[in-house]
A = this chain, B = another copy of it.
Amino acid sequence: MNDRMNALRERVGIAYGGDYNPEQWSDEVQEEDLRLMKEAGVSLVSVGIFSWASVEPRPGEYDFDWLDRVMDRLAGGGVAACLATMTASPPPWLTTRHPEMLTVRADGSTISPGGRQHYCPSSPVYRSHAVRLAEQVATRYADHPALAIWHVNNEYGNVIPCHCDVSAAAFRRWLADRYGSVEGLNEAWSTRFWAQGYSSFEEVLPPRSPAPFANPAHALDYARFTSDELLACYLAEKEVLRRVTPDVPVTTNFPPSLRPVDQWTWAPHVDVIGYDAYPDPLDADAASKVAFSYDVMRSLRGGQPWLLMEQAPGGVNWRPRNAAKPRGAMRLWSWQAVAHGADAVMFFQWRQSRGGAEKFHSAMVPHGGPSTRLFGEVSALGRELGAVRDLAGAESPRADVAMVLDWPSWWALEGPAHPSTDVRFLDAAWSCHRPLFDAGVACDVVRADADLSAYRLVVVPNLYLTSDEAARALTRYVEEGGTLVMSFFSGIVDPYDRVHLGGYPAPFRAMLGLTVEEFHPLAEDASVGLTDGSGTVWSEEVRLEGAEAVAHFTTGPLAGEPAVTRHRFGRGEAWYLATRPDPQAMRGLFDRVRDAAGVTPVLPGLPEGVQACVREKNGSRWYVVLNHGAEAADVPLPAPMRDELTGAAPAASLRLKRRGVAVLRSI
Contact = CB atoms under 8 A, between A and B. Distances in A.
Contacts of A194: 50, 89, 115-116, 356-358
Contacts of A502: 367-369
Interface in A171-227: 189-200, 202-205, 207-218
Interface in A318-351: 318, 320-324, 326-327
A633 to B, nearest CB: 20
A192 B54 contact: yes
A371 to B, nearest CB: 7
Given A92-B198, A317-B418, A420-B321, A372 B503 contact: yes
A128 interface: no
Contacts of A198: 92
Interface stretch (A383-391, A512-520, A604-612): A512-520
A496 B195 contact: no
A213 B52 contact: no
Contacts of A498: 354-355, 359
Nearest to A283: B523
A72 interface: no
Interface stretch (A104-112, A268-276, A467-475): A104-112
A303 B253 CA distance: 59
B113 A210 contact: yes
Contacts of A418: 317, 360
A433 to B, nearest CB: 23
A314 B517 CA distance: 11
Interface string A416-434: 1111111000000000000
Kindly report how many copies of this chain are found in the complex they form together: 3
A229 interface: no
A655 interface: no
A493 to B, nearest CB: 8
A322 B419 contact: yes
A215 B113 CA distance: 10
Interface residues of A, number: 119
Given A194-B50, A207-B112, A499-B367, A356 B215 contact: yes
A92 to B, nearest CB: 4
A150 interface: no
Quick one: which of A117, A317, A324, A501 has the most chain B CB within 10 A? A324
Nearest to A105: B211
B24 A521 contact: no
A570 interface: no
A151 to B, nearest CB: 15
A213 B321 contact: no
A286 to B, nearest CB: 12
A189 to B, nearest CB: 7
A157 interface: no
A447 to B, nearest CB: 24
A341 to B, nearest CB: 29
Interface string A516-545: 011111111000000000000000010100
A260 interface: no
Nearest to A24: B192
A199 B96 CA distance: 11
Given A89-B195, A355-B189, A321 B521 contact: yes
A315 interface: yes
B355 A190 contact: yes
A195 B523 contact: no
A490 interface: no
Given A58-B199, A502-B369, A205 B51 contact: no
A360 B520 CA distance: 12
A209 B107 contact: no
Contact of A92 (B109, B199, B209, B366): B199
A497 interface: yes
Contacts of A113: 205, 210
B193 A353 contact: yes
Interface string A77-121: 000000000101111110010000001000111111111111000
Contacts of A107: 109
Contacts of A23: 192
A504 B362 CA distance: 13
Contacts of A195: 50-54, 86, 88-91, 116
Given A199-B92, A497-B355, A504-B367, A321 B518 contact: no
B215 A322 contact: no
Contacts of A91: 195-197, 199
Given A112-B205, A212-B357, A324-B519, 17 more contacts: A50-B193, A50-B194, A54-B195, A92-B204, A114-B205, A115-B215, A116-B195, A190-B355, A193-B353, A216-B356, A314-B518, A315-B419, A360-B418, A367-B502, A367-B503, A368-B515, A372-B503
